[in-house]
Amino acid sequence: MAEKTEAKREKVLYVVGMGPGEEKMMTLQAREILENCDVIAGYTVYVDLLRERFPDKEFYSTAMKQEWKRCREVLRMADAGKKAVMVCSGDAGVYGMASPILECSEEFPQVKVRVIPGVTAALAGSALLGAPLAHDFAVISLSDLLTPMEQIEKRLRYAALGDFAICLYNPSSRKRADYLKRACDVLLECRDRQTLCAVVRQIGREGEEFHLLSLEELREYQADMFTTVFIGNASTKKVRGRMVTPRGYKKEGEKE
């Protein structure tokens, strides 16, 4: 008789974007993967959010600035045959964990990496505001932990010169209290002071709010790490209390 052999389970690591806040903003695909995995890994804050929802799972977490350690450990778990998931907020490919996981995965060629999309703050915040990113836009982080501030300012300057609508992540922290002001000073080199802007706080969480303001007013705004900032382009306008960047469609009846 031919010896029966059990097919080897495919070694897969999922990188899952949890969305910006509350669980209902997580995609069905992401939730299904979390429900069927063995171990959930991630930054301590995000893992703690999932412990109550998935009490039967194994968890592995590390603090900030230990991303490479976290990546290698969860890849080892996947290599050992566990159904492993690396979680992060928003979308895994937008300032998320997809990039370091894929770089580390070169050390684990037998493990497949599958990136599961999530709702990033730029999209969730945009939905609250109306349609600030309805035309070409740029997303820029003001955190200089991994990118020199000189490079960030260069990107801001060119995005402003190109008349892109702009979404700013990580606008401020205790150590970077003046970075949003510095960013506005760069933008004011070629943007009108009355350019329509907005701030959104606590997206998808208790206390969610947004405010519309001018670029000049934004310069004085006291942001925090729970704030996402939107800067309109030359065409962005207020419509019924919302922020709209027109696509340029002709209204019915308008002459070409």
In percent, the amount of the chain with pLDDT more than 90 equals 83
The pLDDT, as a whole number, for residue 5 is 40
Task: Kindly state the average pLDDT of the residues 232-251.
Answer: 91
Is the pLDDT at 6 greater than 50? The verdict is no
b/e burial code for range 227-237 (CB count within 10 A of at least 16 → b): bbbbbbbeebe
Are 245 and 233 within 8 A, CB to CB?
yes
Over the stretch 153-201, which tens digit does the pLDDT of each residue have? 999 999 999 999 999 999 988 888 899 999 999 999 999 999 999 999 9
Question: In whole angstroms, what is the distance from residue 28 CA to residue 38 CA?
Answer: 18
Give me 213's structure tokens. Answer: 């303001």
The pLDDT, as a whole number, for residue 256 is 57
Task: Kindly state the average pLDDT of the residues 78-92.
Answer: 96
| Torsion angle, alpha carbons of 32, 34, 35, 36, to 10 | 90
Q: What is the mean pLDDT of the chain?
A: 92
Q: 149-161 and 179-187 helices cross at what angle (nearest 10)?
A: 40
With a CB cutoff of 8 Å and minimum separation 6, the contacts of 96 are 15, 17, 88, 89, 90, 118
- This prediction has a pTM of 0.90
Over the stretch 25-61, which tens digit does the pLDDT of each residue have? 999 999 999 999 999 999 999 999 899 899 999 999 9
